[in-house]
Structure 1
Amino acid sequence: MKYITIKDIAKQLNTSVSTVSRAFNDKADINPETKALVLKTAKALGYRPNPIAKKLMQQRSFTIGIIVPEFINAFFPEVIIGVQEILFEKGYQLLITQSSECYETELKNCKTLEDSMVDGLIVSISSETKNMEYYQNLIDSGFPIVLFNRVNNQLPCSKIVFNDYKWALFATEHLIQQGYTRIVHLKGNEGISLTNERMRGFIDAHQKHKLPFDKNQIIPTGFTLADGQQAAQKIIDSGNIPDAIFAANDPVAIGAMQVFKKNGYAIPKDIAFVGFTESQMATIIEPQLTSVAQPAKQIGIEAAKILLEQIENAKEFKPKTITLNGELNIRTSSIRN
């Protein structure tokens, strides 16, 4: 297949390459009739602008990189939909990678995207990511980065976060108001801001309602179905069964529910459950899971907007943090009859 160039158009019209170029770039010093003829001829010949040359001239790739921890939870695909909606409107493409909750994979993804000359990064860090040196170096060099959902508050970049503390408090309050008094929190991975915020909300709900609390009510887990299953089995083996569980996210809650049901516990009669992130699984599992819904698509929209703002106004831009709200969807898993 032969690619048509501006030289081919110039040759067809017996004119100069500079004249064709001025027509494409809508310069003022070209006759309107000549410009119309150039554009008509270009269309007839099947000319398409060279995107690589255009990007080199503008010193931009018009491509944004995004790194997410996983695709198992519907939360991250929803975020990507929001990001893409904004970027496509502005003529940007999106390169999507996942870290699989692995720091080394996340770092490789980051380096690959940087080598691909993306104009900026939108990142939700993995559960293993503790070393922020690579991100710090990028930020120090002026490279645009926006963190979302899982963020590190020490990095001086823009962040799109959810009010995890507030909604964890509300979720725990719901269980307390239903009459549950022995509540356990499956708290998720260490070192991630949302883990600490959800745990803090859980603790403060107990203090607010003057409900006895001790550190044994908080059990470290991960964020996966298997993590919930393992935590539930340990609780059952211990013989110290709570009357309710508030999990760091829906997969952990659902994994724990599966194990308790398998061991003959009725939900919510014997033990109640509340999750977080409002996954599609929440309405499929039986009984349906009470969960905190996050505005995943809106998080993506805000992340894309703020990144583009930084790209367009690099010198004047100052990092900002946007905090979004959600809602508690109450279902059968937590309602005491």
Structure 2
Amino acid sequence: MAKVYTIHDIAIRLNISKSTVSRALRNHPDVSKDTKAAVFEMAEKLNYQKNILASNLASKSTNLIGVVIPEIARQHFFAQALSGIQKVAKEKGYIVMVCQSNEELQEEINQVRALVNSRVAGLLISLSKETDTFGHLQEALDRDIPVVLFDRGTDQIEVSQVTVDDYKGAFDITNHLIHEGYDNLAHLSGPMSLSISQKRYQGFIDALKSSGKNTAEAIVYQCDNLSLDACEAVDRLLSQKKKPDAVFCMSDYMAIQVIKHLKDRGIKIPEDMAVAGFAGDPITELMDPQISTVEQPAYDIGVQAAKRLIMEAESDDRETLGFINRVLPTAIIPRSSTVKKHSN
């Protein structure tokens, strides 16, 4: 049986590192033209291209990046983040494989294991709302596959993370509602298993505290199904003895659903109740009324996460490289769903 040549064989013959061979074969811009030419010449001489699958298995990785997200439908954020990931991957010679966990831990585990078995060079993951164990991520790390979390992170496992300042975004949008003169604020949170839900809730509470409001009386309703609990949440808000005059929603999609149900019940926005969201989805500008929101740099999150993952995947000394926890800023966009018409 003919010998199956690998990246290792090319590296030995050219007296260069395996990582340099790998980058050259991916046409990486960091590798000189002369080195690329030598690598491709040796690969052809060793009949490397005809044995690429076997050599991938032998060298333990491919030029694939695995991405696992909770969902893409109704999620402009993840569509934008994926665009950023794709841009960086293409520039660096990688191919992106995208999987959805559908907000289920078991599906996330299945997808991660499938990607690991496909010898991906690295994993980019935004955790599902059910994820409370991280053995599947540790399995990838144990097989020398770097993992970078984006958007939804955790402090339960030591990996690099790229997120936004969920706390400050929530704090700022709540302050906006207070400064507009709303007195009885409510918050519709996401599942508290998510770090983003915890941070946005804390930002809401701390903004109330800083304005001298009694947080013990704060109206908070947890929507475990994110957007799907909006109808029940509206019913609960309207059943309060002292109805809230403003509500900060965990997400833009939730805010859209809340506005729909409020309108169905004859509630005027913002005259009877103001509504704010979080994400910066462009659809919020097309709604009537336009929805105040917290803008997230979704595209940049994807770019930063992909750059970090590729840096770790191509590093010859990940231990020295260490891990990063990059937090990107948010910005509030006040619109007519919360801004009162002040008289001159």
The TM-score normalised by the length of structure 2 is: 0.81
Map Cα deviations across residues 192-246 of structure 1 (whole Å, 9 max, x no partner).
1111111111011111111222255111113643222221123224454200000
Which residue of structure 2 lines up, in the alignment, with residue 104 of structure 1?
106
Unaligned runs of 5+ in 2: 1-9, 15-20, 25-36
Gaps of 5+ in 1: 1-17, 27-34
Distance in structure 1 (CA, Å) of the matches to 2:80 and 2:326: 18
Give 1:1-337 correspondences, 5 Å limit: 49-50=49-50, 51-52=52-53, 55=56, 59-71=60-72, 72-214=74-216, 216-222=218-224, 224-238=226-240, 240-313=242-315, 314-337=318-341
The Cα shift of 1:278 comes to 1.1
> Are the counterparts in 2 of residues 130 and 191 from structure 1 also a CA contact under 8 Å?
yes
RMSD of Structure 2 on Structure 1 (CA)? 2.7
Query: What is the total number of aligned residue pairs between the two structures?
Result: 302
Q: Distance in 1 between matches of 2:67 and 2:89?
A: 12
Deviation of the 1:260 alpha carbon: 0.7
Is residue 223–residue 251 contact of structure 1 (8 Å, CA) maintained in 2? no
Cα distance, 1:317 vs. partner? Answer: 2.2
Letter in 1 for 2:271: K
Deviation of the 1:185 alpha carbon: 0.6
Task: Give the Å deviation of 1:55.
Answer: 3.9
**Residue 284 of structure 1: how far off its partner (Å):** 2.2
Which amino acid in structure 1 is aligned with residue 179 of structure 2?
Q
The answer to whether the 8 A contact 1:230-1:256 is kept is no
Q: 2: distance between equivalents of 1:56 and 1:110? A: 18
Q: What percentage of aligned pairs have identical amino acids?
A: 30
Paired amino acid for 1:266: K
Q: CA deviation at 1:309?
A: 1.1
Kindly indicate whether the alpha-carbon contact (under 8 Å) linking 1:223 and 1:249 is maintained by their aligned counterparts in 2: no
SS of aligned partner of 1:333 = coil
Residues 201 and 315 (structure 1), Cα distance of their counterparts in 2 relative to 1, 3 Å cut: closer
Measure, in 2, the Cα distance between the counterparts of 1:215 and 1:128.
29
Measured in 2, the distance between the counterparts of 1:57 and 1:115 equals 13
Distance in 2 separating the partners of 1:206 and 1:237? 22
Distance of 1:80 and 1:310 partners within structure 2: 19
Is the Cα–Cα contact under 8 Å of residues 56 and 119 in structure 2 kept in the other structure? no
Q: 1:213 to 1:315 in 2, by over 3 A?
A: closer
Query: What's the CA shift string for 1:75-104, capped at 9, x where partnerless?
Result: 001111101111111110011001111111
The alpha-carbon distance between structure 1 residues 162 and 223, as it changes in their structure 2 partners (threshold 3 A), is farther
User: Structure 2: which amino acid aligns with 1:289?
Assistant: I
Q: Distance in 1 between matches of 2:91 and 2:111?
A: 25
SS in 2 for 1:241: coil
Letter in 2 for 1:291: T
- 1:320 maps to amino acid: I
Structure 1 residue 120: Cα displacement: 0.9
Given that 1:309 and 1:317 are in contact with CA atoms closer than 8 Å, whether structure 2 keeps it comes out as no
Query: Residue 289 and residue 48 in structure 1: after superposition, are their counterparts in 2 closer, same or farther (change >3 A)?
Result: farther
Cα distance, 1:328–1:156 mapped onto 2, change above 3 Å: same
User: In the superposition, relative to structure 1, how do residues 133 and 58 fare at CA in structure 2: closer, same or farther (>3 Å)?
Assistant: closer
- In 1, the alpha carbon distance for the partners of 2:255 and 2:271 equals 16
- Structure with the greater alpha carbon radius of gyration: 1
More moved, 170-179 vs 216-225: 216-225
Range with bigger deviation, 99-108 or 130-139 = 130-139
Letter of the aligned partner of 2:227 in structure 1? L
Does the aligned pair in 2 maintain the 1:139–1:156 contact within 8 Å? no
Q: CA deviation at 1:65?
A: 0.3
Q: Partners of 1:70 and 1:79 in 2: how far apart?
A: 12
Q: 1:101 to 1:57 in 2, by over 3 A?
A: closer
Distance in 1 of aligned mates of 2:48 and 2:106: 40
